[in-house]
Amino acid sequence: MARTERSGQPLDSGQLPLSGQLQGLWLGRRPYQAVLELQQRCAAQRRAGEIGDVLLLVEHPATITLGRGSKAEHLLASSEQLSRLGVEVHSINRGGDITLHAPGQLVGYPIVELREKQRDVRRYVQILTETMRRVAAAAGVEAGPVDGYVGLWVDTTHPKEWQGAHNAQTLAKLGAIGVAISRWITSHGFALNLNVDLDLFQLIVPCGISEHPVTSVEKLTGDRLSLHSCAEIAHNALAALLDRTALPLTDSSELPWPEVVIPIDA
């Protein structure tokens, strides 16, 4: 969600060989704090070898998150306005600036161990970018990385084509990334705008970037997508890029929250 020197090019799944499996859970719409605590538990279990690698896929009620690099002036709304709109605010330990989650946005939290040649933060960010790109492509939107920024970008003038930022007429951000990595165990992740209410982004300076707007797949195509179906595409894409076997996506969206568990052994 912050700027970086170079965001790199789309990756092939064979660039970073790694064996193993990736369990995916579709959680449906869940409060941010509850899923944050689940992430933290999963990361501790992964570090202890009690579970294998897992991808949590979710949508959140309207929530603003403040990363380690966030600036106070990038939150444009007053506390009274946020309260009236029912928007929560959380300060968290991921990298990057301010961002917003809301219904219609697919959020992915990989809790994976990066091993050997995977231990490169920039390369991992490229993998998350490519994961989002494949979901967008399946919906008919071509997008890609932009040098100098983190995330997934699209040319809103020609959303079905992507020939690099230097050829784009009107750049807009389609997906954001903010990660935390501790002892090479990842948490936090990506947020892809599918059917999200874009007006909510007026509450912030998204990722600290004021020179380019944000957009969504629905705005670009007119299509309203199933988040569950997009979650399956994201799960399979991330598994391929990490050279893991994607286990069947578990649908936990209808379970009461205390009953949501990670059904995977180390």
pLDDT at 103: 98
Q: Structure pTM?
A: 0.90
CA distance linking residue 141 with residue 256, whole number of Å:
35
**Which run of H or of E encompasses 44?**
helix 32-47
165-173 long-range CB contacts below 8 Å, 24 or more apart?
171/146, 171/212, 172/212, 172/213, 172/214, 172/215, 173/149, 173/206, 173/207, 173/209, 173/212, 173/213, 173/214, 173/215
Q: Is the pLDDT of residue 9 over 50?
A: no
Confidence of residue 118 (pLDDT cuts 50, 70, 90): confident
Q: Is the pLDDT of residue 14 over 90?
A: no
pLDDT at 70: 87
**Which run of H or of E encompasses 251?**
strand 250-251
pLDDT at 266: 40
Give the pLDDT confidence of 26-69 residue by residue, as tens digits: 999 999 999 999 999 999 999 999 999 999 999 999 999 998 88
pLDDT at 262: 62
DSSP per-residue string spanning 120-186: -HHHHHHHHHHHHHHHHHHTT---B--TTS-SEEEETTSTT----GGG-SSEEEEEEEEEEEETTEE
Give the pLDDT confidence of 60-102 residue by residue, as tens digits: 999 999 988 889 899 999 999 999 999 999 999 888 889 999 9
Name the range with the highest mean pLDDT among 113-117, 131-135, 147-151: 131-135
Positive or negative, the CA dihedral 239, 125, 110, 151 is negative
Pairing of strands 88-91, 185-193: unpaired
- By the 10 Å C-beta count (0-12 exposed, 13-18 middle, 19+ buried), 153 is classed as buried
Give the residue numbers marked as catalytic.
207
